[in-house]
Structure 1
Amino acid sequence: MDVTARSATSEAGAPRARARARGANWYRGDCHVHSVYSDGELAPEQLVADARDVGLDFLATTEHNTASAHGIWASLASDGLLILLGEEVTTKTGHWLALGIAPGELIEWDYGVGDDLIGRGLRQVRDSGGISVAAHPHAPYPSGSFMYSYEGFDAVEVWNGLWASERPWNADNEAALAAWGQALVQGSRTGRWRPAVGNSDTHLEGQIGIPHTVVLAEELGAAAILDGLRAGRSWIAEASTVDLSLSAVAAGHTAGIGERLSAQGESVRVRVRVSGVPRATVSFHTDRGEVHCEALSGAGTGTLAWHTRSEDSAFVRIEVRHPHGGMAALTNPILLT
C-alpha cells in the first residue's frame, strides 16, 4: 500500500460519533491496534473487517506517534462498528495510549521520564475529551517498560496481547496485574483508583480482539464508551466467546462492575456468572488478596456466589483462569462501603 499517497485523506473529518443505536448495553472493543500506517502489517480496511468477524463493537486506532491515517480510519466507521481516533505515544521511557482525540491531533512523544514533559500531553488529551492509558507497563523491550507515575492517567493496560499468537497471557501481564491490584487496594479506600483495560496491540493477522475490553455504556457512541472506560464499568475478555456478569447485593441495593455499593453493615452477596471457558477456575479477590476460588464444570458455564461484609472487603473483583493458569477474563472491582 502507498501510505504516502493515501495519507492526504487524513484531513477528513472525524468518524461518526455514534454507531447503530442499541442503547445502554455491554460493548466489546479493542483500543490498541496498529496498521501499515505505523508498524503493523495489515491495512485499516482488513483490520475493520477482522474486528467485525471476531464480534467487536468498537475499535481505536493507535498508530505510533502519528495521526496520518486518521482520515482513512474515519471513513471506515459504520453503523456496526464505532471507531475512536487515537495514538500510541511511544516515548523513550514508556508507551501510552491517547484515546478519543480530535482528527489529525498529534500528541508529543519525543521525551523521557527525566524531561518532565508527559503532563503536557495528558492535559492535551483531557482537553480533547479523551482518556490516557498507560500501555503494557512491563513490556520486556527498550522503551516498553513504563517508567512514569500513573498520576494523571485514566486507566492501565494490564493485559496486552502482542504475543497472543504464542501465549495470550504471559509473565509481563501477570506483573502488570499484580502491580495494578496492589495500587487498587490503596485507591479503593481513597476513591482514586484507575481501571484496568485489556487490548490486543495488534500488529499481525489473527491478533485483533485477543484480548479486548467489554464496556457498559449508555450507547455505542464515542463519549459514552470513553465514559465507561474512565469509570471502570468494564471487564476484559480473552475472546468474544467468553461472557461474564458480576453483581453485589446488600441492604436492598445492587451494584455492578465499576460501581459502589453501600452495604450499611449488612452481608454482601457477590454473584458471578461465567460462560465460554471450559474447566475454568473462578477466583474472588479483595483488598485481602484471593479470598475464594471455585472450578466451573467442564462445559465452562456456571454461576457462583460468595458472601462478605464491607468491614472485611473494600472491593471485590473476579479472575477467570484456564486450567493451565492463563487468564480468560478479569474484571474491574465493585467497591463496598
Structure 2
Amino acid sequence: MSFPPVRAVGRGAGWYRGDCHVHSVHSDGELTPEELVVRARGARLDFIATTEHNSGAAAGVWGHLPTDDFLVLLGEEVTTKTGHWLALGLNPGEVVDWNHQAWDGLVDKCLDQVHRAGGLCVAAHPHAPYPSGDFLFPLLGFDVVEVWNGLWTSDRPWNADNEAALAAWGRSLAADLHTGSWQPAMGNSDTHLEGQIGSPHTVVFAEELSAEAVLAGMRAGRSWIAESADVDVSFTAHADGRVAGVGERLATRDGQVEVHAAVRGVSAGTVSFHTDRGKVHRASLLGDGAAQWDTTAGDSAFVRIEVRHPNGHVAALTNPIILK
C-alpha cells in the first residue's frame, strides 16, 4: 500500500493516545518509520502522525506499517524562519510550502490549504530555545497550540520552555473562550532520537480510530496530555444531573457545579484546578487519588487541571471544561 489507510479498527468511540510530532530518517530523525511504529506501539500509543520537516510522507514509506488497530496520520512540520507549525491530516502526496514568514501574509494561504484537506494546523513549540523555533505568527487561523514538547528534555518531558508555553496559553483562555476563538492545547514528543516517542502525547476522545475522528476530537479540545501511558486522568464537571468532560460545555440552571478529578499512575504530587481567575484550588496526591472542587458558572467560565510531580514537572494537563 502506497499510503496508510485513514481508518483502523480501534474500539469505537473512546479515548485514544497519539503522538503527532514525529521525525524519521526521512528528515532529521535517527529512526526508520518501521522502528518508530514498533516503539509507538511499545509506548501503548494508538496512533502517530508523520511530520517530516518541509516534506510530506513519501509514497510507499508508511503505507505498509499500520496494523488493524494502529493508525498513521499524514502530516508535515512546516519549518519557517519565524516559527514551526504542524500540518496534520494532509492528503497523500500533499506538501505545504514552508517559504513564508510572520509578516508577509502568506501563511493564511497555507492554513487554508490544510483546512481544505480537512486537516489541523498546530502552532508547534512556541517558545523553543533556538533560532526560528520561537513562534512569531498570529494564532488566528491556527487550530491547536502545542504547549508541551518533549524534544529538549532529559529524565522527564518538561522544561522552562514548556512552562512558558503553558502559561501563555492559560492566560489567553478566558478572552479566547469569550470570543469563541480559543485553541485547544496538545502535547507531542517531537521525536528525533531513540527513547522519545510518546513522551509526552495527547489523549483524545474520538468517535472511532480514524484520521477524521481523531482530528475532530483535537479540534474540539476533547483531549488532555500525558507524560506517558502510565498516567491516566478522569476529569468531569457535574450539575443538575448532567456531566461534561474535557472540551465540552456544561449548562446549569442554578449555577452550582461539582468538578471531579481522578489520577492514576502518579506516585506523588498535586492536582491543581485553574479557571479564568487563575489557580483556584490544589490538592495533594499520594498514589492513585481523586479530588473535588465546587464552583458556580458565575464564578468560573471554565475549569481545567494540571497534575504535577513534587519537583514541579507536569505529569498531565487537560483542556478546559466550559461552564455556561
Instruction: Quote the Cα distance in structure 1 between the aligned partners of 2:269 and 2:294.
Output: 21
Residue 306 (structure 2) aligned to one of 319, 324, 327 = 319
**Structure 2: gaps spanning 5 or more residues:** none
Instruction: Quote the Cα distance in structure 2 between the aligned partners of 1:218 and 1:40.
Output: 32
Alignment of 1:80-91 (within 5 A): 80-91=69-80
Alignment of 1:76-225 (within 5 A): 76-225=65-214
1:304 maps to 291
| Distance apart, 1:49 and its partner CA | 0.1
1:245 maps to 234
| Distance apart, 1:190 and its partner CA | 2.4
Cα pair 2:2 2:62 within 8 Å, conserved:
no
Q: Which has the higher helix share?
A: 1
**Counterpart amino acid of 1:288?**
R
**Structure 1: gaps spanning 5 or more residues:** 1-11
| Distance apart, 1:305 and its partner CA | 0.6
Alignment of 1:27-106 (within 5 A): 27-106=16-95
1:6 maps to none
1:4 maps to none
Instruction: Quote the Cα distance in structure 1 between the aligned partners of 2:131 and 2:155.
Output: 20
Cα pair 2:89 2:119 within 8 Å, conserved:
yes
Instruction: Quote the Cα distance in structure 2 between the aligned partners of 1:119 and 1:305.
Output: 43
Cα pair 1:246 1:270 within 8 Å, conserved:
yes
**Counterpart amino acid of 1:150?**
L
Instruction: Quote the Cα distance in structure 2 between the aligned partners of 1:224 and 1:150.
Output: 23
Cα pair 1:255 1:334 within 8 Å, conserved:
yes
| Distance apart, 1:168 and its partner CA | 1.3
| Distance apart, 1:13 and its partner CA | 4.1
**Counterpart amino acid of 2:20?**
C
**What are the superposed Cα offsets for residues 51-85 of structure 1, whole Å, 9 maximum, x if unpaired?**
00010000000000012535311221111210000
| Distance apart, 1:167 and its partner CA | 4.3
Instruction: Quote the Cα distance in structure 2 between the aligned partners of 1:55 and 1:47.
Output: 12
TM-score normalised over the length of structure 1:
0.94
1:279 maps to 268
Instruction: Quote the Cα distance in structure 2 between the aligned partners of 1:128 and 1:70.
Output: 18
| Aligned residues between the structures | 324
Instruction: Look up the SS of the partner of 1:73 in the other structure.
Output: coil
| Distance apart, 1:17 and its partner CA | 1.6
Task: Name segments (4+ residues, structure 1) moved above 6 Å.
Answer: none
Instruction: Look up the SS of the partner of 2:177 in the other structure.
Output: helix
Instruction: Quote the Cα distance in structure 2 between the aligned partners of 1:250 and 1:202.
Output: 41
1:229 maps to 218
**Counterpart amino acid of 1:32?**
H
Instruction: Quote the Cα distance in structure 2 between the aligned partners of 1:74 and 1:261.
Output: 41
Instruction: Quote the Cα distance in structure 2 between the aligned partners of 1:46 and 1:262.
Output: 46
Instruction: Look up the SS of the partner of 1:71 in the other structure.
Output: coil
Cα pair 2:270 2:307 within 8 Å, conserved:
yes
| Distance apart, 1:307 and its partner CA | 0.2
Let me know the Cα RMSD of the aligned residues: 1.1
Instruction: Quote the Cα distance in structure 1 between the aligned partners of 2:70 and 2:285.
Output: 33
